[in-house]
């Protein structure tokens, strides 16, 4: 149901989708959506809070599994690129509809995002100990913009070879930006 919601919200915006359309896209009736969620705001919250939690957990796992600072940063780049290529609809929904979340859930998403940025800052500071933390945060944010902007140009019919080339390009560009 969340995948269907991400697709519809990305295509038409949160406000442009009804609960009946969400149900139909998930293969159930509109009222059946209420068996899983209290309403459309809860669907958006589950989608955006859930992905923010997944990113933070994944970023922490990359850090924990990496033997060196360089391996950690490269792993984070690969992790973010993979997310952007697999979940472009979620990125588009986040970009457009974050402010449609209930206030408490928006605060939760923003807190999780800040924590995720700090995972990147920790990896960057190990490689660039002489850089100040504000500059490292700017580098991380710039790379998120670079990688995540791709979600606005992806299409469903990309061939695996095209995806591999795009993945390589994004990883190369992100690495260069982080170490500029």
Burial class (CB in 10 A: 0-12, 13-18, 19+), 69: middle
DSSP of 107-171: HHHHHHHHHHHHHHHHHHHHH-TTS-HHHHHHHHHHHHHHHHGGGGT--TT--HHHHHHHHHHHH
Looking at residue 39, the DSSP 8-state letter turns out to be S
Each residue of 2-41: pLDDT tens digit? 999 999 999 999 999 999 999 999 999 888 899 999 999 9
Is pLDDT of 101 > 90?
yes
Q: Distance of alpha carbon 40 from its chain centroid, rounded?
A: 20
CA distance 101 to 90: 14
pLDDT (0 to 100) of residue 157: 76
Residue 158 — very low, low, confident or very high, per pLDDT cuts 50/70/90? confident
pLDDT (0 to 100) of residue 152: 84
If one compares 156 and 180, the residue with the highest pLDDT of the two is 180
């Amino acid at each position: 149901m969340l995948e269907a919601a991400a697709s519809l919200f990305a295509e038409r915006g949160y406000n442009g989708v009804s609960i009946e359309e969400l149900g139909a896209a998930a293969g159930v009736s509109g009222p059946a959506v209420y068996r899983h969620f209290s309403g459309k705001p809860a669907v958006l919250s589950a989608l955006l809070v859930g992905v923010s939690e997944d990113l933070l957990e994944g970023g922490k796992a990359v850090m924990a599994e990496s033997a060196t600072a360089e391996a950690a940063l490269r792993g984070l780049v690969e992790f973010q690129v993979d997310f952007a290529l697999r979940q472009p609809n979620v990125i588009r929904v986040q970009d457009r509809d974050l402010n449609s979340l209930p206030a408490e859930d928006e605060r939760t998403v923003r807190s999780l995002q800040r924590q995720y940025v700090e995972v990147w800052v920790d990896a960057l500071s190990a490689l660039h100990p002489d850089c100040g933390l504000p500059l490292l945060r700017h580098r991380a944010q710039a790379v998120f913009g670079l990688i995540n902007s791709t979600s606005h140009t992806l299409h469903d019919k990309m061939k695996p070879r095209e995806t591999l080339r795009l993945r390589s390009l994004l990883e190369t560009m992100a690495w260069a930006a982080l170490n500029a």
